[in-house]
Structure formats: C-alpha cells, structure tokens
Structure 1
Amino acid sequence: MRTVLRLLGTRYGIALVLVVVVLVAVGLGRTVLDDGSGRSANDALGPTVAPVPTSADPYSSLGDDGVDESVVAAPSLSKGAADVSAVATRFAKAWLRKPGISGDQWRAALKPDASAELMASLAETDPADVPTATITGPVQLQGTGAVTVAKFPAEGGAIVLELQVAGGRWQVTSLDWEAA
C-alpha cells in the first residue's frame, strides 16, 4: 500500500490518474449520449448544412479572414530539379514492357525516379508482366502542392503514378494500372 501511495505522488502516478479519469469520463459520456441505435444525441438535430454562397455576396468565395485558401504552396525543389511532368514521363517510359530486357536492367531504369519503398515493392516484378508497351497520349496531372497524380493513357488502360517531393526532387511513390 505504501508503494502505491508513493507512486501516486510522482509525476507518473499523477499522469496515470489523469488518464484513468479521462477514460472514465469518455466512457460515461458515450454511455449517457448513446441510445443504442448507433447514433449520437446530436444526430437527432438533423444533418449539418453549410450556408450556400450567393452571387449577391461578393465575398462568398473568400474565407473568414479574406485569404483565398485554395492556393497551395508549391513544393520546395532543389535548384535544377526536374519538374513533375518530366519525372513522371521518364518513369512511365522506363516502366513499359520491353521484350528482352532483364529485371535488373528494368529496375535500374526506374530507380532514379522512384522512392525506395516503391523500388522494394517492385523487387520481384517480372518486366514481362507489365501490361502495356505503349503510351498513347500526353500525361494528365492532378493535384497541386507536394503530391501530384500523373495519369498516362496507354494501350489497354492507363498508367497512374503518384509523385511526391522528397529530398528536393520529385519521386514516384506509387504505381497503378487501370485496365480499360
């Protein structure tokens, strides 16, 4: 008993007591507000509806502080780093099925533009299993800021790449194939 009282007098004991108090309060709150239907007491008020901006309000497209929050800062790239379109195009062309190329040669061509995690996931991939050999149109970029999705129309579907800025340069972090 003496050891327990001494523990409660330390900062760890106090922290433990506070955690227990918070957990009990949350549990009681959920019990009191839960009617058994899986809905909370606030759901009875109905859905939350945001105000609809009208053309009569000249400031409807601005936030409360008057700053346009739709503008996202550009990622920080190193001087001379290739832009997202160039990196995506280079990677997509290297990813295409090329008869006669070894797995090691194929991965070596992908590595300069791929994240370490993506390269690890491609370690056992056979380049002969790549579903297309031809890109049929220009890249379509979606997203702004530090994450961008690049989609290439290709024979039989589309190559979808996610790119992120890491170490001051764009890297392909994920790869997907959308069959037509």
Structure 2
Amino acid sequence: MISLMDKQKIIIDGFLNGKSQWGIHRETGISRKTIRKYIREYEEKRSKLLEGEGDKLILTEEMIEPPKYDSSNRQKVKLTDEIMARIDFYLEENEEKRRIGKSKQQKKKIDIHECLVEEGYDISYPTVCNYIRNISDEKKEAYIRQEYELGDVSEFDWGHVKLEINGESKNIQMV
C-alpha cells in the first residue's frame, strides 16, 4: 500500500524535479503504472486549477488526499478450495463426535488451525476462524450471574467423557 508520503514523493520527484518514471521506480520500488497514475492525476487537477475550473478548495483537497483502496472485492489468496475442504472435514468430524456423545473430544478452532499447519498448509488462525464463523450459525449461550452468601453454597464441576477402551465405548465420570 502506498502512503500519502509516497504519493507526495512521486509527485515532487516526477512533476516538480523532472525525474523519469523509471528513476522514481528504481528509487522507491513502486510500480511505474502507479507512478504514472499519480503524476497524471496531479497534472489533470493542476490544469483544472490553473484554468479556473471547479472549486479550488475541493481540487486542492483532492490533490493532497491519501490514496484509497477498495478491498471489498478482493479474492482470498490463502484460503483455497483444498483448505476449505479440510476445514469442512474437521467440522464434520466434530458433528459426528457430537452425535455419538463425544462432545468433549471435538476440535476447537485452534486445534483445526494446528492440524492444517501440521499438514503443510500456510494459513493464519484468523483466516480459519473467519471461515468457520461464516459457515456456521453459532448461537452464544447466555448466563445469569448468581450471588450467594458466604457458606450457603458449595460449587464444583462434574463432567463425563466417553472413551474407547479395548474397542468398547465407556463413559468415564470426572470431578
């Protein structure tokens, strides 16, 4: 992305100092097409100002505003169909575990990301989270905070996990 400072350097070097587009490209590393675009924009707005066309304040503001980028229609680069298929596979695996009562053994989003990285895919954790959020319609659970007097109530967590031991599915209780 090009900052306002880069845009100003292009305009100053290209228009005011008379450097060639190739020279600016070599110095800044910015594409010649981009350099040409900013120089042409500047020349057009400058000529409108000199000819007295349009509002001077608006034209001046347009000349010095930072570059704008439309990122709304960009393609996903890292999230390929192959990676989406793998994520869908892990989500189906989770659904199967929920069906047979092994909900404690589901893969969380971070686990899915780690599996993908281990398989050699170059993808970030937020990309995985965003994809899962877009395809699933999770409802957040709501909890009501409860207040008790000291000594009235004792609380502990009780749970169970289904394990397969020697080919037999067993329900193990945990505290």
> Does the TM-score normalized on the shorter chain lie above 0.5?
no
**Structure with the bigger percentage of strand:** 1
Calculate the TM-score normalised by the size of structure 1.
Answer: 0.22
TM-score (norm 2): 0.23
